[in-house]
Amino acid sequence: MGYIFRNTKLKKNHRIEFERLNPATIFLYYMILVVVTMVFNSPLILLTEFVIVLFLASMTVGLNSTLKTLKGTSLMMLFIMIVNPITNHNGGSVLYSINGLIITKEATIYGVLMAFSLANIILIFTSYNKIMSNNKFMFLFGKILPQLTLLTMIVMRFVPLFLDRFKNISQIQKTRGIQLEGKSIKEKSINTMRLVEVLLIDSCYEAFQTADSMTARGFGSTKRSNYQRYKFNKRDGIIGLILATGILYLIFAIVNKIGIITIYPKLIVTSVTSNIEMLTLTVISIICGLPIIMEIREALWWTFSK
């Protein structure tokens, strides 16, 4: 198994097999991931999903980028785990009571589960932003909701683009002697506001240029066309059928509260090793791990076809 993973060459620019699927199939897969993360709060399910989406992010954006994301995410997770039991006193099982500060078992467990849910969501969208490109998103929703689709794409690019430009402007300003390191809080605030001012001016200028370019190219004057077409082939049908079957089972699990634990007002945990719980974990693992399974299959095919 290690030989297979070593030969898949999981680099930053490596295009995995899952990325070649139809945008509708890819979008459905990620929507299922988000629903699983938001609905199922069983520790075993969240931990299993965390491992899978962590590996998926490493496959799509690269190990170094994933570790950087995980580093920032770990701080947020730790913050939630600490703050939630301190600020949330709900729950019937008291663990500690110090000078009027009540720490309950339910609030502590809820903080841990919420932290892992947040980490899973961040890792999911880390790979989503790489696999679901702007062209795929426009192909999927451009004709149905053209204005909303364009606005969504702009919003999704807004923060990363702003951060990149802010870094570039900061590096340029350092050559002029404007640095944020080693300064007082007042000087840091003044210099930061100058950089933000430059950033806003540059962004407005770029926005005007983009608007003029869109007008010159006749944006919105005719029926919208797609830059690239994506066919729905047999493999998309097979993956779609697997996802549809998984959705039906997940609906059954949600209705019967399988893989869902009750935390408030008192923690109620069913046996996580029961047959139905393990079946739910297996189904979720297969659905979440579809890109990894496809990559292993491709690696095996190339290995044994030589």
- Cβ-Cβ contacts under 8 Å for 144 (sequence gap 6 or more): none
- Helix (H) / strand (E) element for 98: namely strand 94-98
Below-50 pLDDT ranges, the chain: 1-12
Domain residue ranges of the chain, discontinuous segments joined by +: 2-145+232-304
**What is 259-281 written as a DSSP string?**
T--B-SSS-B---TTSHHHHHHH
Cβ(127)–Cβ(113) under 8 Å? no
Separation of alpha carbons 117 and 115, rounded Å? 5
Instruction: Give per-residue pLDDT as tens, 137-179.
Output: 777 776 776 666 666 666 666 666 777 777 787 777 777 776 6
The pair of structure tokens assigned to 286 is 């297969």
What's the predicted TM-score (pTM) here?
Answer: 0.74
Cβ(4)–Cβ(296) under 8 Å? yes
Number of alpha carbons in the 13 Å side-chain half-sphere of residue 2:
0
Three-class SS of residue 101?
Answer: strand
Separation of alpha carbons 8 and 51, rounded Å? 19
The whole-chain average pLDDT of the chain stands at 79
- Supply the pLDDT for residue 32: 94
- Supply the pLDDT for residue 171: 79
